[in-house]
Amino acid sequence: MKISPLQIERLKYEPKLPGMLRNGISEISVSEGEETRSVADQEKIQALFPNTYGKKEIVFAKGQNTSAAKKQVVGVILSGGQAPGGHNVVCGLYDALKATDKENVLYGFKNGPSGLLDDDYLVFDDEYIDQFRNTGGFDIIGSGRTKLETEEQFAVAAEVCKKHGITAIVIIGGDDSNTNAAVLAEYFAAHETGVQVIGCPKTIDGDLKNEDIECSFGFDTATKTYSELIGNIERDANSAKKYWHFVKVMGRSASHVALEAALETQPNICLISEEVAAKKMSLSQIADYIADSVAARAAKDMNFGVAIIPEGVVEFVPEFSVLISEINELLAGSKADAFNALATWDEKYAFIEQGLTKESMAVFAILPQTIQQQLFLERDPHGNVQVSLIESEKLFSALVKAKLDERKKAGTYKGKFSALHHFFGYEGRCAFPSNFDADYCYSLGYNAFMLIQYGYTGYLSKISNLSKPAEEWVAGGMPITKMMNMERRHGEDKPVIRKALVELEGKPFKYFEAHREEWAVGTCYLYPGAIQYYGPASVCDITTRTLALEKGE
């Protein structure tokens, strides 16, 4: 297989481990802390997880390894969307497994959880795994979004594990995937299969975090990748001086990516979905907020700028959420067929006008026609609007243009406004991992095997103290149930890991809030450039601005 010069060089990089994991497998001891309880709904979560609830948090330290010696046959699954560093989780798991006993075996189940159900796998060896060290992507075994959530699936998984003599499964995924890991661990424990389940925290969206999980892997690399691109756009905007760039970035459920990119690049505008919801901002108010920046800059003869838009921001606008709910109801059941049978958009518009309340129709009417039509594109499997298909960057630039046209008529605005649009999503999911993510992910995998070796199940691999050099990182584990609460999903109460939203009282947002007025009017752009792999540690190994601010550094 032909590989690039960068990949050749990255293969030489040796990931750094936390100090307590550097002493050799035989010198890693375990220390148990207090028993845990779920973040909410304790009685309900405990009832659903009687065999795995309330377990103790643990920390690894230098000392004699007291784990029972036995051959380990481990299966690993990559679940959900890609995130930079996933390959290094597998590599760290493999290296720890082989360092303990050369006879240990690592199975890679292909294309996500479905590989476990279909018994579709490969067995890792040195030659194969060495091709993927410190690289981006999930192509080492592929990923998928199949959910492990039914008794039938669990029974099949147990049979596949029994067939191969598998002693543990490691699931590398986000909040839903690790919820599935917790449910699978409970099933295996209840049925005394002897198979452990360990999770690893992955998502570039940054919303799998809490007091224990300081950062999900992939967030550092993805945000640095997006920030490089946004910085390039800022440089271009400041050179051409004639375009407003509206940049949508990933983050449907939370705005961590947008906030971090803003902290890295200092754009003129960055919307934070959580603030929009807290202030109950309307589409019109948001458009006025952006238009104020455009007008203030135009008054200084700066008819250019950059605005960052989180992918899911429209879902946080109260009036828009009501509109979506009404559209879902409007097209429920056979009514969808009646709507789709209409030949022209005018006929469909009349149908919509009759079916929406006066308030929602007023919101619908101000939307550009392209956005109106996007709301009636292909539905999701539950018949609902696929909000992720809405081009919110184009929505807000159109609304801003309308506001500016009104101001021109009133004589309060004389500038020029020309918009360009971008969406940065897939560009960041499979980038070569930063040094931080390469180290962090390798540590998560190595640490996952230590949890297996010491007999834990239903635990999440945990590396903390991440704002410090890797030598000072702390390795350990926490029960997945500690992060769970009950939420309403598809008409049923389900145990799920609580998503972490941007904290409006947190230090990262407060820093952004204190500076955004200056950024809105001035040209304060930062150009972070490409991810630095070689050079001073102060450049190459720095963590995200979000984590540094949270830790007061």
Q: Which residues are catalytic?
A: 205
Which long-range CB contacts under 8 A does 122-127 form with residues at least 24 apart?
124/90, 124/94
H helices present in 341-434, as ranges: 345-355, 358-366, 369-374, 392-410, 426-429
**Is 480 within 8 Å of 57 (Cβ atoms)?**
no
What are 126's two structure tokens? 């040195």
How far is residue 396's CA from residue 414's CA, in Å, rounded to a whole number?
A: 20
Q: Which amino acid, one-letter code, is at 449? A: F
Backbone dihedral angles phi then psi of residue 416, each to the nearest 5 degrees: -110, 145
Q: Which residues contact 50 (CB under 8 A, 6 or more apart)?
A: 186, 190
Q: Say which DSSP state 491 is in.
A: T
User: In whole angstroms, what is the distance from residue 41 CA to residue 70 CA?
Assistant: 38
State the Rg of the chain over Cα: 25
Which are the contacts of 180, defined by CB distance < 8 A and separation ≥ 6? 79, 113, 147, 148, 149, 171, 173
Give the number of other Cβ atoms within 10 Å of residue 385's Cβ. 21
Whole-angstrom Cα distance, residue 48 to residue 189? 13
Q: Where are the beta strands (DSSP E) in 53-208?
A: 56-62, 73-78, 105-109, 121-123, 168-173, 196-201
Q: Give the C-alpha separation, 508 to 456, whole Å.
A: 35
